[in-house]
Amino acid sequence: MSTTTPSCVRSAAARDTDTPTAPDTLLGRVVSRLRELTGADAGWVVRVDEAAGTWAVDAADGPGLPPGGVVAEVVRIRDVVVVAGGPGGRSVLAVPVRRGPRLVGVCVVAAASPSAAFAAPDRGLAELVAEYAALALADHGSLSGRGLVEALRQELAWAEGAGVRADLVAVGQPALDVPLADEVFRVVQEALANVVAHAGARHVQVGVVPGPGTLTVLVEDDGRGFDAAAHGRLHEAASGSHQGLAAMAARARRLDGELEIDSTPECGTVVRLTVPCGAEPATPGRTRPSVLVAATRPVVRAGVVRLLQLGAPELGMVSEVDGPDDLAATCRLLGPDVLVVEPDVLAPDDDLAGALDRVAALPAPPAVVLLAPSCPGDRLRTAVAAGVRGCVGPDAGDRLAAVVAAAGRGETSFAADQLGQLAAPPVPARGVTQREREVRGLVAQGFTDRQIATALQISAKTVEKHVGSLLRKTGARNRTMLVHLGDR
């Protein structure tokens, strides 16, 4: 794809008149941070589909749209581009967003004025922000109106462009509904990315074989392979840093299908996906709930995973991660039904309510179980108000498995002492004045200090003092917790 590729040029021209769709939380933060760090007047995160030869603005902060020629040039050279004479004669900085061997997007900023220029530090900051954009763009490259076979041909052309001979063997055109075809395509796309990035293969072949009530797709390469037995096959390979395999397995599970990976050192790898389809296509229901365990210490993660495997065999795949910078992005990638998470991993800034709100805002939010030996009354009330399904210690044995299994069924489970904490009236805060109650009410409505000051006809400095007094009197650590503690 380059500035002379017709499909890319048509796509860029068409997008120049489009209004970017509302960004998700992570993309919105990425583009705002990008603009702030570089002192730019406008910033954009552009999603790129190399195989289809198209791009689209996914998030914007500031006026206008990025110059199409700059995006196309980044895709062509796969490197940073700095040009003068962009929107209004201003300089433009554009950096590629990569996921493994694949270019999945471009981050673009335009200078605040024609006299401003981007220096080397600006480029470094933009490249750093692009790493976070890669998380938000992980689910790149949907079918976008293409048939499954057509989309696979374009992906194989991309693999050949990366130096791997690629063949497609398709037995007819499978009749699939769009959501099923899209999920199957994403599994194959991830497998091809692994072949290009890691296998050292000379040849890869994709087979599409419809059967009675099923569809089987194979991705076979002649690369270096790996010792699947030594890695615990898919279960262990799908944990920790092997998120590509984990994402493939999660998609197979959502389709009620089966993913097999057969590999031997120096003898290549075969990925086989089989999903039900046909007259009654499978709904992406989750018959066996999956679990993501997020804890800082490896010994805690391993212990919890083992307890769940032994005590709750009705659960599906159990994956584990440590403390990622953006847990919501990891949940979006793996799609767990239940998130078992230490409070410090979920909310490193101690804003538990805000962190739970971010998880709840995901397209398919998981049920949350807090992994903690104890949960103080105020924190427990905050957690329950935000929809947490349980709070249990990592060494609680059968109770841990029971709480997580209940969360997978959509149920809530708390121990008797926890129920007692929830039933007990909260300790009243002493000395809360009527004015402080008025301030807290406006904080709960999302008002800023300046807006509260205007509404109550007091100074913004006085508002700050009232908020600080409320935090001390209620024991809340921040404004969000203050709101969730309710009216005391």
pLDDT in tens, 70-113: 998 998 888 999 987 666 778 999 999 887 777 888 999 999 88
Residue 340: partners with Cβ closer than 8 Å, 6 or more residues away = 291, 292, 293, 294, 304, 308, 369, 371, 404
pLDDT of residue 5: 34
pLDDT reported for residue 8: 37
Alpha-carbon distance of 464 to 467, in angstroms, equals 5
Cα torsion for 418, 420, 423, 427, to the nearest 10°? -90
pLDDT value for 432: 74
Of residues 470 and 223, the one with the higher pLDDT is 223
In the structure, what pLDDT confidence band is assigned to residue 425 with cuts at 50, 70 and 90? low
Cβ proximity of 317 and 238 under 8 Å: yes
CATH superfamily for 291-423 is Response regulator (3.40.50.2300)
Residue 283 banded pLDDT, cuts 50, 70, 90 = very low
Does pTM surpass 0.75?
A: no
Helix (H) or strand (E) holding 288: none
379-388, 419-428, 471-480, range with the lowest pLDDT: 419-428
Q: Which of 426, 401, 399 has the alpha carbon at shortest distance from 415?
A: 399
| Rounded Cα–Cα distance for residues 96 and 192 (Å) | 20
CATH T-level assignment (fold) for domain 434-484: Arc Repressor Mutant, subunit A (1.10.10)
Statement: residue 476 has pLDDT above 70: no
Structure tokens at 346: 């979920």
Cβ–Cβ under 8 Å, residues 127 and 118: no
Per-residue pLDDT, 360:
85
Show Cβ contacts of residue 270 under 8 Å, excluding neighbours closer than 6 positions: 218, 219, 220, 260, 261, 262, 263
**Mean pLDDT to the nearest integer, 147-155:** 86
What are the strands, taking DSSP E only, across 32-128?
42-49, 54-61, 81-83, 92-99, 102-110
* Dihedral pair phi/psi, residue 402, rounded to 5°: -65, -40
289 closest CA partner among 319, 261, 260, 259: 319
Q: With cut-offs at 50, 70 and 90, classify the pLDDT of residue 431.
A: low
pLDDT tens across 9-63, in order?
334 333 433 444 444 457 778 888 888 899 898 899 888 877 777 788 888 888 8
Domain boundaries of the chain, sorted by first residue: 6-136, 148-276, 291-423, 434-484
Q: Could you tell me which CATH class the domain 148-276 is placed in?
A: alpha beta
Distance CA 59, CA 448 (A): 25
CATH number of 6-136: 3.30.450.40
pLDDT of residue 142: 67
pLDDT in tens, 299-324: 888 888 888 888 888 887 777 777 66
